Structure 1
Amino acid sequence: MGSIKNEFAKDINPNHEQIPLLESLKSYSNTDISCFDVPGHVKDQGVEILNRYFGEEVMKMDINSSPNMDNVANPKGVIKMAQKLLADAYGSDEAFFITNGTTQAIHCMILSVLNPGDKILLPRNIHKSVINALILCGGVPIFVQPEFDYNLGISLNINPDRIERALEENKDVKAVFLLNPTYYGACTDLKRVVEICHKKGVLVLVDEAHGAHFPFHFDLPPSGMSVGADMAAVSIHKTGGALTQASALLVNKKNIDYKSVQQSINMMQSTSASYLLMASIDGARANLVENGEEQFSKALNLSRYAKSKINKINGIKLVSTEVLESEGVEFIDETKLCINVKGLNLTGLEVYDLLYQNFSVQVELGDLYNILALVSIGTTKKDIDNLIEALSIIAKTHRKNDSLKELNIKQINPEIKLKPREAFYAKKESVDIDKCANRICAESIMAYPPGIPIVSPGEVITEEIIDYIKLLKRNNAYLTDMKDKDLNTILVIKEVILNTVK
């Protein structure tokens, strides 16, 4: 392989048939070179069991940075060129490869714009990574409740009017953080939100973990970059086809110092970022640009086919475009199949288990009322037919007589007593769950997936929250992030603190 020169880093007319990083990695892996650097398996020479299970080609491509392969901390060659192509594909000014998932992208995004004490406006149904980012930077959350669908038992998205009112009430907010889409595919009128925020000099940060596919088909919702958001964290692996943990941070430079973003990334990202993950973004980007419209046309057709069949099953309802009638929902991602199973008197958690154990069907999640199935570029009609058949059998053979109405799912909006960072570092004690009412929580508790905190550090635990946690426990939800894995106790602030966040 010839030397990769810095000409690759110059501004060029984008040619998305190019896969500079993936191609260079493949070429380097085939080079006859004696390696005295990390990783210690030295291509396919050291660990035969990994060669057998992963394949020799994968092991050869698991490398560290070298003169020809560039360095993600200060890219000047093939990585810089690949990132420029990614930025062009997503319509952003800059794009940064992230190798620890969109969790890390969100951390870097927030750290690069918030100083300790800065306020950020955000929905209550955010991923735990946002709260953890605020612990890291000392930011102050101002929550705005998203709309809630009581039939589905899920939060949707935020009405732009609520954001505008919240900004009037909190004139010192520095940034607004939004989901595009929510876990269940609901999108607000993001363009209007951007207009509202920018008129007030407020930044717009977007969690687009589940919207990596949006720019590549006209029937999908608008992406954050396309409507002028300042930054977006995008899970290329979730819906774009890259390897797991491969993500990106997209930046529009008008209001953002992108060099500060790079500094935040260098602080948070490993100095041994995976070339397999970064190269998979390069390949996925080329595929999305070249084949995305065709592949997502197929995915959307499969989603609509699934809806037509599943809605004929007695007791099951596939809800998609109907939620457009809800406030705060301007667009819906039809590739996310939110399947309401409440009519079977089964929880979504029970149906999730039945699908996997009895029918070898793996869906994204089950909650108390629904299951969520994702249709992607790799989904086949056979996969869809297997899902339809399995649900049909479950509806006939596992329907229960007992009603689920007593679940009474509703939106929880805890009171904030301490900033997340203050709560994280405060003295703590574990207290019996039945004695935690009116105590300040010192940990995050959530069902995973999707990883949305029921209660977070600094929030007041109420009887309502305790009842909801017990409800999830009774229904075998997978609860995570708490110190006591059985959740008989909750970690709370040791001293009683009465002053509220200012």
Structure 2
Amino acid sequence: MLSQERAPIYEALKEYRAKRIVPFDVPGHKMGRGNPELTEFLGRECMTVDVNSSKPLDNLCHPVSVIKEAEQIAAEAFGAKNAFFIVNGTTAAVQAMALAVAKRGEKIIMPRNVHRSAINALILGGAVPVYVNPGVNKELGIPLGMTVEDVEKAILENPDAKAVFVNNPTYYGVCSDIKKIADLAHAHGMYLLADEAHGTHFYFGDNMPLAGMKAGADFAAVSMHKSGGSLTQSSFLLTADTVNEGYVRQIINLMQTTSGSYLLMSSLDISRRNLALHGREIFAKVQSYAQYMRDEINEIGGYYAFSKELCNGGAFYDFDVTKLSIHTRDIGLAGIEVYDILRDRYGIQIEFGDIGNILAYVSIGDRELYLDRLIGALNDIKRIYSKDKTGMLDHEYINPIVKLSPQDAFYGNKKSVPIEQSSGKISGEFVMCYPPGIPILAPGEQITDEILAYIKYAGDKGCFLTGTQDLEIKNIMILDE
């Protein structure tokens, strides 16, 4: 019988450490003794379990004992058939599920406001995206989810597509009707892939949007290190019984390290146990924290901490109330400007700021004092820094003009030109603000004056632009016609 009170990898590491094994294998720091400065920084207890695969500890690439058992327990906790431990971040999980369902030239239906990892998977494997433009809330300027009607239209126009990809939720906390989309996909012989990088808690909390596995998804990529409490870079890839377990593991092993970190794996093991046993009370507290802050921030005026009142049964089908997404444009400040002021003047680091909104990530690790500190800082910022909003850009999403597949564009013959001279050309690389890492421009898309104006505006406001070979974003690679 599987027990959620077990943590097999954690237990095996404690037993291994107790045996005082003499290490003549990697890593070369030899349980910290070979790198005293690092050991002092991270702690001896941590260094003694930064170990290599061995028979007592199993092997991530081909698990047969403690890792296999830990994966089985995790699968049960999430209501999945299989759970794969991922130590290359949710990026690797997203890429694995895309590569597992579509080969070169085959189609995947997806919203354009996907994380770059999804488009990277298309570059690696050669699948072709069929983009569904997400809905847009014009007041907030943010992209939303996909409507069922738009997904159905894409399916009917592309009956040969292999899968439908859904963000559950978006970075802002917005959810599509994943159950109906899953049913649609399956009715047409397609897989449903759920990017749940920001939806771990959907599986363990009450009054949450529907989790991918419960909605009938065939795959779900879950960032345990975000709301689940594990170490950064640790994630799960969940699959249903519709999926070939052995083939998926082969796909994962194409990309994932052969030197799986036991620090990351044990953090997944322990965090899964914690959520399985205590998730309901943990996330009830997180919801209460977020609602308290939402109410207080909306009382300030000028800001809008939005929630389920915007749900419309369509592209804003549901909302994750643990997300503290705040619209800032009405005080005359871009989200990224508020982000920078909070960090530089108030010592508060939030998750991200874009041109009109900020996101403060709320978790069980917060203290009530911190909640009030952020509320007070936002009050101060409005009083000290607010200004006329005239002339501010009012949207985050621009419909793409797709000319080539991401793979063909990325590997095509390219040349570098000054970015201000690139309008009308086809991009051979990404441009995006990070976080959140959703491309403004992706390989294969036509560069337009509107996109260039957005990139310049975002850079001028202080967004951290990434994706181009030129680290200063002064030049861009375009297809050499």
TM-score (norm 1): 0.94
1:438 to 402, 405, 424: 424
Counterpart for residue 377 of structure 2: 390
Q: How big is each residue's C-alpha offset from its partner over 1:227-271, in whole Å with a ceiling of 9 and x where there is no partner?
A: 1100001001011010000001000022x2121100011111100
Question: How much does 1:326 deviate?
Answer: 6.8
Corresponding letter in the other structure for 2:399: N
Q: How big is each residue's C-alpha offset from its partner over 1:442-482, in whole Å with a ceiling of 9 and x where there is no partner?
A: 00100011000111111111111111111111111100011
Preserved CA contact (<8 Å) 1:436 1:461:
yes
Counterpart for residue 477 of structure 2: 491
SS in 1 for 2:263: helix
Give, in whole Å, the separation in 2 of the partners of 1:360 and 1:434. 36
SS in 2 for 1:112: helix
Question: How much does 1:280 deviate?
Answer: 0.4
Preserved CA contact (<8 Å) 1:342 1:404:
no
1:358 aligns with 2:345: yes
Structure 1 stretch 77-86 or stretch 341-350: which is displaced more? 341-350
Question: What is the 5 A alignment of 1:267-306?
Answer: 267-306=254-293
Give, in whole Å, the separation in 2 of the partners of 1:250 and 1:49. 38
2:181 to 184, 188, 193: 193
Preserved CA contact (<8 Å) 1:121 1:141:
yes
Corresponding letter in the other structure for 2:275: L
Question: How much does 1:410 deviate?
Answer: 5.6
Q: How big is each residue's C-alpha offset from its partner over 1:290-333, in whole Å with a ceiling of 9 and x where there is no partner?
A: 11100111111111111111111021111111221373122110
Question: How much does 1:146 deviate?
Answer: 0.6
SS in 2 for 1:407: coil
Question: How much does 1:405 deviate?
Answer: 4.3
Give aligned-pair identity as a percent: 45
Question: How much does 1:486 deviate?
Answer: 2.0
Corresponding letter in the other structure for 1:320: S
Counterpart for residue 374 of structure 1: 361
Question: How much does 1:31 deviate?
Answer: 2.3
Give, in whole Å, the separation in 2 of the partners of 1:380 and 1:336. 16
Question: How much does 1:404 deviate?
Answer: 4.2
Give, in whole Å, the separation in 2 of the partners of 1:49 and 1:31. 25
Preserved CA contact (<8 Å) 1:150 1:410:
no
Q: How big is each residue's C-alpha offset from its partner over 1:344-392, in whole Å with a ceiling of 9 and x where there is no partner?
A: 1111111111111111111100111111011112122112111111111
Corresponding letter in the other structure for 1:230: D
1:223 to 195, 205, 211: 211
SS in 1 for 2:370: helix
Give, in whole Å, the separation in 2 of the partners of 1:398 and 1:423. 43
Counterpart for residue 476 of structure 1: 462
Structure 1 stretch 409-418 or stretch 229-238: which is displaced more? 409-418
Preserved CA contact (<8 Å) 1:346 1:404:
no
1:321 aligns with 2:304: no
Q: How big is each residue's C-alpha offset from its partner over 1:126-180, in whole Å with a ceiling of 9 and x where there is no partner?
A: 0001111001111000000111012112101001111011111111111001100
1:452 to 438, 461, 479: 438
Preserved CA contact (<8 Å) 1:125 1:452:
yes
Preserved CA contact (<8 Å) 1:414 1:459:
yes
1:181 to 169, 179, 185: 169
Give, in whole Å, the separation in 1 of the partners of 2:407 and 2:300. 48
| Structure 1 residue runs without a partner (length 5+) | 1-12, 496-502
SS in 2 for 1:173: coil
2:63 to 75, 87, 94: 75
Q: How big is each residue's C-alpha offset from its partner over 1:188-218, in whole Å with a ceiling of 9 and x where there is no partner?
A: 1111111111111111001000001111112
Work out the number of aligned pairs and report it.
481
1:93 aligns with 2:81: yes
Counterpart for residue 465 of structure 1: 451
Corresponding letter in the other structure for 1:313: I
Corresponding letter in the other structure for 2:54: S
Q: How big is each residue's C-alpha offset from its partner over 1:422-459, in whole Å with a ceiling of 9 and x where there is no partner?
A: 11111111112222111110001000110001111111
SS in 1 for 2:416: strand
Counterpart for residue 72 of structure 2: 84
1:344 to 331, 353, 368: 331
Give, in whole Å, the separation in 2 of the partners of 1:125 and 1:367. 14
1:169 aligns with 2:152: no
Q: How big is each residue's C-alpha offset from its partner over 1:53-108, in whole Å with a ceiling of 9 and x where there is no partner?
A: 00000000100101100001111110000000100010000000000110011111
Corresponding letter in the other structure for 2:344: Q
| Structure 2 residue runs without a partner (length 5+) | none
Give, in whole Å, the separation in 2 of the partners of 1:132 and 1:410. 21
Preserved CA contact (<8 Å) 2:148 2:314:
no
Question: How much does 1:14 deviate?
Answer: 2.0
Structure 1 stretch 412-421 or stretch 364-373: which is displaced more? 412-421
Structure 1 stretch 410-419 or stretch 206-215: which is displaced more? 410-419
Preserved CA contact (<8 Å) 1:21 1:82:
yes
Question: How much does 1:220 deviate?
Answer: 1.0
Question: What is the 5 A alignment of 1:126-165?
Answer: 126-165=114-153
Give, in whole Å, the separation in 2 of the partners of 1:49 and 1:125. 43
SS in 2 for 1:122: strand
Cα distance change, pair 307–406 in 1 and its aligned pair in 2 (3 A): closer
1:50 aligns with 2:38: yes
SS in 1 for 2:314: coil
Corresponding letter in the other structure for 1:430: S
